[in-house]
A = this chain, B = another copy of it.
Amino acid sequence: MVTTLARRFLPLALLSGAAAAQVPPLSAADSEPAKLGWMQGSPPAIDKQVRFDDASMWFFPRTRWSFSHWRELVPTAAIPRAGPPSALPRAERRDLDAIRFTPLGATAPMTWEQSLAANYTDGIVVLHRGRIVHERYFGAGGPANQHIAFSVTKSFVGTLAETLIAEGRLDPARTIASYVPELATSGFGDATVRQALDMRTGIAFVEDYVARGTELTDPTRMSIAGGAAPAAPGYQGATTTPAFLAGIGKRGGHGGDFAYLTPNTQAVAWVLERITGQSIAAQISARYWQPLGMEEDAAIQVDRVGTGFAGGGMTAAMRDMARFGEMIRLGGKWQGRQIVPPAAVRAILAPGDAAAFAAANYPGLDGGSYSSFWWHWASGQTMAVGIHGQGIYIDPKAEMVIARFASFPVATNRVINPTTLPAYDAMAAALAGK
């Protein structure tokens, strides 16, 4: 008995490389959690467990279960909804599964339905002119399930920041340290809020989720501090997010090329909490989850002192993510009420500095840009992007919003985008009747 329930400890140094180590990974169909039996039984057999304390929650194919069961693995703060859910009319079209497109870099076409499997989609909602035209669930979730959104969280923080800027409560030209003195001696010390919002600081952090080696990677150290990964015996690093941020050094100057570094979002979130006196969870609830009439509560993973993981810790239900994207598409309005100030929406939807983005040589995103923790495509779309395939895609011209949760085996968008972006374009064309 004790043997089968003994605590295991996987080498955390290998954590970030674990997904990539699965070559080839199981397919979406073969990695369905129900099929693999994760966490079934009381207690689950040791080879069917998905745990925090051995880091197994981070290893594909267990991620296909853990990404939909986040609150069962880590402490989370609620982002409460309020009142009855707002209407989200349905106008489903059965023909959309058969849409065909050619993945980037491929020659053979693929159907929309096949792309959902190729992307290990857990849930997807397509809104056209505010109506649900397509909705599917796979994996361990369903419409009411809260899936981890990872870096889609950042775009909520960016929207909060642009809102405070529009309200005159946040000056993006001021330094982060002028709001949060605890960061004065860190790499953030002389960075402005705008430089962090646009991911153009020179902090010393390597955002690599597929590196392999014997040392803890920066994202793993960040996860340990944020309470999302276990600390091995003898661990001497930061045990809270504020302490982790304060300990980040400087690699180069600020205001240079685009460099996607998650601590930038956490620093901005700290600024927002200092200005408002409210946690990020409370701000998202008061500004979005309650007034938008969300169907389900959302939540955010918290560290040992209650700090929400603003860089990637939100969990939410699929349709609520779609509601948020649709509200942005509609200029910040939702069912007659202005939710986000028009100036903030303009700031969110406007492209960022294309030259700074191009210099960073982000593969597959030619002509794109990044600003206010949102991605911008050259063809006019704006997107919230989370690792492993999470996203809120806003296409103003096509009057289309797509929200997706996924558990793609590899933690890099360079292998997810090829079957995502052309599929979204094909969906837009189909909805336009082209």
Contact = CB atoms under 8 A, between A and B. Distances in A.
A305 B243 contact: no
Interface in A323-365: none
Interface stretch (A1-9, A158-166, A193-201, A403-411): A1-9
Contacts of A69: 77
User: Quick one: copies of this chain in the complex?
Assistant: 2
Interface in A42-87: 42-44, 49-53, 69, 71-78, 80, 82, 84
A88 interface: no
A369 B154 CA distance: 55
Contacts of A270: 42
Contacts of A305: 5, 39, 43-44, 49, 51
A76 B84 contact: no
A167 to B, nearest CB: 19
A296 B84 CA distance: 11
A31 to B, nearest CB: 19
Q: Majority SS of interface residues in chain A?
A: loop
Contact of A144 (B43, B52, B82): B82
Contacts of A50: 306
Nearest to A242: B43
A239 interface: yes
A76 B82 contact: no
Contact of A39 (B74, B144, B306): B306
B240 A5 contact: yes
B72 A1 contact: no
A304 interface: yes
Interface string A1-25: 1100101000000000000000000
B39 A7 contact: no
B84 A75 contact: no
A307 B72 CA distance: 10
Interface string A280-304: 0000000000000000110100101
Nearest to A44: B305
A2 B82 contact: no
B78 A307 contact: no
Interface residues of A, number: 50
A73 B182 CA distance: 25
A243 B4 CA distance: 9
A412 interface: no
Interface string A29-49: 000000000011011100001
A417 interface: no
Contacts of A42: 242, 270, 273-274, 279, 307
Nearest to A78: B71
B77 A71 contact: yes
Given A242-B1, A279-B42, A304 B53 contact: yes
A233 B231 CA distance: 12
Contacts of A1: 182, 242-243, 246-247
A396 B367 CA distance: 71
A143 to B, nearest CB: 10
Contacts of A51: 304-305
Given A42-B274, A297-B297, A72 B5 contact: no
A237 to B, nearest CB: 10
A80 B84 CA distance: 16
A84 B83 CA distance: 9
Interface in A209-264: 233, 238-240, 242-243, 246-247
Contacts of A52: 75, 304
Contacts of A306: 39, 43-44, 49-50, 72
25 contacts: A1-B242, A1-B247, A2-B246, A2-B247, A40-B277, A42-B242, A42-B279, A42-B307, A43-B242, A43-B305, A44-B306, A49-B306, A51-B304, A53-B239, A53-B304, A71-B71, A71-B75, A72-B77, A72-B302, A74-B75, A76-B76, A78-B146, A233-B233, A296-B297, A297-B297
